[in-house]
A and B are shown apart, each in its own frame.
Chain A
């Protein structure tokens, strides 16, 4: 893949978001099919085959690449939707597929050897031997690194494996090792790993009492927001829990990840691509975040002092942002 500099990889939950991302300056967009084969299986979201083909044509005409996330884990006895998704992605002429499951990786390697394979963050490859495993056995060309690593650790991994890496630049702070977290299915019975939705909307409920809002998942109270207090996603890892008699954000505060301030460090670490999370967000978000990162990356490339970092905190969970695990002390 020809890379101008740090490649900007942007979310496209819908065809209109894809166009928005391309127009806003994405080098690459990623999307998923309208079913359980991707980790953002929410109602009304994602692409059917024709929409993907049109999206690929649109993006390629504007020198933008398209990746397809097929990054959930097939249910036993029902692997065909995942295999079909890989077939369809190949037929649509996408630039790469983002995979997580060993069986799906194996299928893609056997049946579509020329289809470029990226390793999803859902595969949780956070060390050199894991990355080497996927590279050696499935010819994986790029690894999306788990967002639990510091910049130093990212640099070490790249130095040791020499593989292309994609890291999260904007989105959620996921404290758990992704792809093997069962908190949501513990409460709802629906598995994010195979159904593709953490905190599925069908199991989320909000109740307003005297200006306070209670959020519940599968009937379990996750949080209570006072009047005017910024809200968090109704995912179990962003809930408030009581330990030693005291309620706190035990796992993670309602805060968003924004690495825009440390782009030079990520570039210095040898990162290939920056991932903007948010296929579940509206296209207004895509426009704003992609535009801001495009400007920052262009400025970085010109070596401008005072990289424009924009004002994105309105878009982040809880209206607050952090560099997450990239910085020391987060753990």
Chain B
């Protein structure tokens, strides 16, 4: 079996340029990940705010021998957003397409299909591969039965699945972060920047349920698929994604790397990982065909 690749997914939250720079420079220097996805997935308005550090981050990651993939927007609606993707397509970085628009603009050029494009079955996977996908990040809603089928018959196509971090449940035109602050998306003051780990949205009877991240809605709990890693590898999953949270991601990556390499058993790193994730509950329901918010 080929060595399992550990990846760091795109940062979904809106961190300041300085915080981003510190984060990625440390990832470059210390995190045992093979691939790092950078680029804005959630909201085009955030991008200019952090553009100043983007080139340095990419250069440092490359210098550290990481594969760098540039993620693109999950919901593209404006001409400006389309033009931005057109620019990226003409650049030299491998892209992660998160909207079909990106695949169209790539015109068959090799790319990664991100988890926001529905690749739930063999038929869809094969279409995507024919259009140039070399790696497909499967949707978080996919359960193990589906994963086994799609990964098991994928041939040379690499398959990635998120194994750590809050899961993205939806993208929208509306900015809920703005709404929670009684602002509109057009005059949002980039208010999402004040919550580096998102904004908690609870039920009216006090159950923590969602994490709001601008136009995106995430799970409240942290997805932790640690004891499932062996099974996923067995299925044929080649890349294992850690989604950045506001915690020590280098330590998270180190634990996952150790388990993937068989140096430690999943239950040996559980306690240490719990310390890192604090009071945020762990979830793994989607993979097991249960409600996503559950821990099976």
- Which B residues lie within 8 Å of A134 (CB)? 100
Stretch at the interface among B31-39, B209-217, B255-263, B267-275: B209-217
- The answer to the question of B44 belonging to the interface, with a C-beta cut-off of 8 Å to chain A, is no
B201 contact from A75, A189, A241, A252, Cβ within 8 A: A241
B77 contact from A74, A126, A176, Cβ within 8 A: A126
Binding site for A on B (CB under 8 A): 74-79, 81-82, 85, 99-105, 116, 118-128, 131, 139-142, 145-150, 167, 169-176, 179-180, 184-186, 199-207, 209-210, 212, 217, 219, 285-286, 289-294
**A102 CA to B217 CA in the complex, in Å?**
25
- The answer to the question of A194 belonging to the interface, with a C-beta cut-off of 8 Å to chain B, is yes
B204 contact from A79, A137, A247, Cβ within 8 A: A247
Q: 1/0 per position for A89-129, CB-CB distance to B under 8 A? A: 00000000000111111110000000000000001111111
**A311 CA to B104 CA in the complex, in Å?**
43
- Which B residues lie within 8 Å of A244 (CB)? 180
- Are B118 and A193 in touch, CB under 8 angstroms? yes
- Are A101 and B169 in touch, CB under 8 angstroms? no
- Are B169 and A181 in touch, CB under 8 angstroms? yes
- Are B77 and A182 in touch, CB under 8 angstroms? no
Known A-B contacts A129-B82, A193-B141, A331-B175; the reply to A103 vs B180 at CB < 8 A is no
- Are B173 and A242 in touch, CB under 8 angstroms? no
Known A-B contacts A221-B207, A241-B202; the reply to A251 vs B174 at CB < 8 A is yes
Most buried by A among B76, B102, B104, B150: B104
- Are A189 and B292 in touch, CB under 8 angstroms? yes
**A102 CA to B103 CA in the complex, in Å?**
13
**A114 CA to B130 CA in the complex, in Å?**
23
- Which B residues lie within 8 Å of A13 (CB)? none
- Are B101 and A133 in touch, CB under 8 angstroms? yes
- Are A101 and B123 in touch, CB under 8 angstroms? yes
- The answer to the question of A188 belonging to the interface, with a C-beta cut-off of 8 Å to chain B, is yes
Known A-B contacts A149-B77, A182-B292; the reply to A129 vs B174 at CB < 8 A is no
Q: Considering only CB atoms and an 8 Å cut-off, how many residues of chain A contact the other chain?
A: 70
**A79 CA to B141 CA in the complex, in Å?**
17
Most buried by B among A74, A126, A136: A126
- The answer to the question of A285 belonging to the interface, with a C-beta cut-off of 8 Å to chain B, is no
- Which A residues lie within 8 Å of B121 (CB)? 73-79, 101, 103
- Are B123 and A106 in touch, CB under 8 angstroms? yes
Most buried by A among B100, B147, B286: B100
Known A-B contacts A156-B79, A244-B180; the reply to A180 vs B174 at CB < 8 A is no
- Which B residues lie within 8 Å of A123 (CB)? 100
- Which A residues lie within 8 Å of B285 (CB)? 186, 189
**A243 CA to B203 CA in the complex, in Å?**
9
A102 contact from B76, B127, B140, B294, Cβ within 8 A: B127
Binding site for B on A (CB under 8 A): 73-79, 100-107, 123-130, 132-134, 136-137, 148-149, 153, 156, 175-177, 179-183, 185-189, 191, 193-194, 218, 220-224, 237, 239-244, 247-248, 250-252, 325, 329-331
- Which A residues lie within 8 Å of B128 (CB)? 102
Q: Which residue of B lies closest to A189 (CB)?
A: B291
**A194 CA to B149 CA in the complex, in Å?**
15
Known: A77-B146, A148-B174, A176-B171. 15 other contacts (CB 8 A): A76-B148, A101-B118, A101-B124, A127-B77, A133-B104, A148-B173, A180-B139, A182-B167, A186-B286, A191-B141, A193-B118, A221-B207, A243-B200, A243-B212, A251-B176
**A224 CA to B176 CA in the complex, in Å?**
21
- Are B172 and A176 in touch, CB under 8 angstroms? yes
- Which A residues lie within 8 Å of B205 (CB)? 221
- Are B141 and A182 in touch, CB under 8 angstroms? yes
- The 9 listed contacts between A and B (C-beta, < 8 Å) are A153-B78, A179-B118, A182-B169, A189-B285, A191-B141, A221-B204, A242-B204, A247-B204, A251-B217
- Which B residues lie within 8 Å of A248 (CB)? 179-180
- Which B residues lie within 8 Å of A175 (CB)? 172-174
- Which A residues lie within 8 Å of B174 (CB)? 148, 175, 251-252, 330-331
CB distance from B256 to the nearest CB of A (A): 23
